[in-house]
Chain A
Amino acid sequence: MVARAFGTGMAAVCLLACAHPAGDTTMARTSSQEPGAASAPHATTAEPTARMIRITAHKWSFTPDEIHLVVGQPVVLELVSLDVTHGFNAPDLGIRVDVEPGRSIQIPVRPLRAGTFTFHCDVFCGDGHEEMSGRIVVAPAP
């Protein structure tokens, strides 16, 4: 897996304009895939210059809960849980991973389309679970 380059789990993500089977043109996925992730096609090389954005999941929020990206600029979303197993699900982007404590998940993405895309925890984690969500805001390329 390309994830080995990071020494962590690497999840595959099709965010917006790779050859998504549903015609989604939102992001390009740049890593291979691990179980539980989206099943969209993707490239097999990491983006060496990608900016890392760390997202911590904890009862009952994501920090940060709003992520700003720019079309065409690659990033790696690094997901870490500080307590229990959470889920990171952005259905409009084809992303779905478990976020387990003690193990970071890295998701290389390259936005291909501007817009606002919500994500939420989809592993029930207690009181407040329903409000554990955020959004990815993709701005047009400058």
Chain B
Amino acid sequence: MAFEHSRRDLLKLMGVGGVVFASGLAGATGSDKRGGHDKAGRNFFFLQLSDTHWGFQGPPNPQADTTLKKAVETINNVDLQPDFIVFTGDLTHTTEDRDLRRKRMVEFRTIVSGLRVKDLRFMPGEHDAAQDAGEAYKETFGATHSVFDHKGVHFVTLDNVSDPKGAVGNGQLDWLAADLKKIALDAPIVVLTHRPLFDLYPAWDWATPDGAKVIDILLPHRNVTVFYGHIHQEHHHQTEHIQHHAAKSVIFPLPAPGSVPKRAPLAWNADKPFDGLGYRRVEVGAASAEYKILERPVTKG
């Protein structure tokens, strides 16, 4: 299997390991409905970048104007390229200036267009969309929620940020339920969203007000995995059989939930620049019942 050899080579090259999460993919047997039934068709990987906050300036990252560009360079320098890259929100840092908001989005898109991989999937964070109900985001990137299928895996991007309170909303819940009716119950489903769908730490607003309704819709499906951002750190959680994996930020890390009185960014470490930042590689195997998650630094140095 070329994929597995490549992965081992990459691990050796990077000198890092990965985390394996069982997601029951091996149970997928196929049906007439859409979804991942062609196991041989799977066997790919994608990258997750999150919370790039383009336009942010401040002590938590004195190199904020170049960090995203470094991440692009780092990814481009890896020989084995992903099938696609997902950006799970907060592409830009918020501003009340509507023109500046659009300028930041265009700049962000220009920077990431330098990635060798051209299949880029975006979704908003509250910094992108909450102040204008997603208007500028939609002008620049398109719909705030969508679905796509890739090699037998059904991907759903959910918008829990265009509402300033972070709700998904009844309209989108109905849309999700209608979409999943077309998907086999054993099909592998990946949900991409910004905020956690479960109550990770409500005292810091690390939750989605109607996230439980989303999970209720997902629960009948046996192979569901959620990848999200928002909390600027790696985090893994399970609600019943659904796995939830939060990604690091590309721009600044946040403290562990409840570890400090305020959810302020962690201080920049001049001795270890870019510490706590990163992106994620997610491997979807053909015969494996696991997603392999590998955390990557934004710079190689």
Chain A residues with a Cβ under 8 A of chain B? 85, 87, 89, 91-92, 118, 120, 122-127, 129-131, 133, 135
Once the chains bind, are B95 and A122 in contact (CB under 8 Å)? no
Once the chains bind, are B165 and A127 in contact (CB under 8 Å)? no
Q: Which of B165-203 contact A (CB under 8 A)?
A: 165-166, 202-203
Once the chains bind, are B95 and A127 in contact (CB under 8 Å)? yes
Indicate if B126 sits at the interface (CB-CB under 8 A).
yes
Given A91-B202, A118-B203, A135-B261, residue A127 in contact with residue B164 (CB < 8 A): no
Once the chains bind, are A120 and B203 in contact (CB under 8 Å)? yes
A133 surroundings in chain B (CB, below 8 A) = 204, 262-263
Q: Which of B79-97 contact A (CB under 8 A)?
A: 93-96
Bound state CA distance, A141 and B266, in angstroms? Answer: 37
Once the chains bind, are B263 and A130 in contact (CB under 8 Å)? yes
Measured as residues with beta carbon below 8 angstroms from the partner, the interface class of chain B is 10 to 19
Q: Which single member of B131, B166, B261 contacts A122 (CB below 8 Å)?
A: B166
Once the chains bind, are B261 and A120 in contact (CB under 8 Å)? no
Once the chains bind, are A131 and B203 in contact (CB under 8 Å)? no
Once the chains bind, are A131 and B131 in contact (CB under 8 Å)? no
Indicate if B270 sits at the interface (CB-CB under 8 A).
no
Once the chains bind, are B94 and A131 in contact (CB under 8 Å)? no
Once the chains bind, are A92 and B203 in contact (CB under 8 Å)? yes
Once the chains bind, are B166 and A131 in contact (CB under 8 Å)? no
Once the chains bind, are A124 and B95 in contact (CB under 8 Å)? no
For B203-221 the 0/1 string (1 means CB < 8 A from A) is: 1110000000000000000
Q: Which of A92, A120, A124, A126 has the largest number of chain B CB atoms within 10 A?
A: A124
Once the chains bind, are A120 and B95 in contact (CB under 8 Å)? no
Q: Name B's interface SS.
A: loop
Once the chains bind, are A122 and B203 in contact (CB under 8 Å)? no
Indicate if B130 sits at the interface (CB-CB under 8 A).
yes
Given A92-B203, A124-B126, residue A85 in contact with residue B95 (CB < 8 A): no
Once the chains bind, are B94 and A87 in contact (CB under 8 Å)? no
Bound state CA distance, A126 and B205, in angstroms? Answer: 14
Q: Which of B137-182 contact A (CB under 8 A)?
A: 161, 164-166
Once the chains bind, are B165 and A126 in contact (CB under 8 Å)? no
Bound state CA distance, A87 and B131, in angstroms? Answer: 14
Indicate if B264 sits at the interface (CB-CB under 8 A).
yes
Given A131-B262, A133-B262, A135-B261, residue A126 in contact with residue B203 (CB < 8 A): no
B181 CB to closest chain A CB (Å) equals 31
Known: A120-B204, A124-B165. 20 other contacts (CB 8 A): A91-B202, A91-B203, A92-B203, A118-B261, A122-B165, A123-B164, A123-B165, A124-B126, A124-B166, A126-B95, A126-B96, A127-B93, A127-B94, A127-B95, A129-B94, A129-B126, A130-B205, A130-B264, A131-B262, A133-B204
Once the chains bind, are B93 and A131 in contact (CB under 8 Å)? no
B204 surroundings in chain A (CB, below 8 A) = 120, 133
Nearest-neighbor residue (CB-CB) of A122 within chain B? B205
B94 surroundings in chain A (CB, below 8 A) = 124, 126-127, 129
Nearest-neighbor residue (CB-CB) of B95 within chain A? A127
Bound state CA distance, A92 and B264, in angstroms? Answer: 20
Once the chains bind, are B205 and A89 in contact (CB under 8 Å)? yes
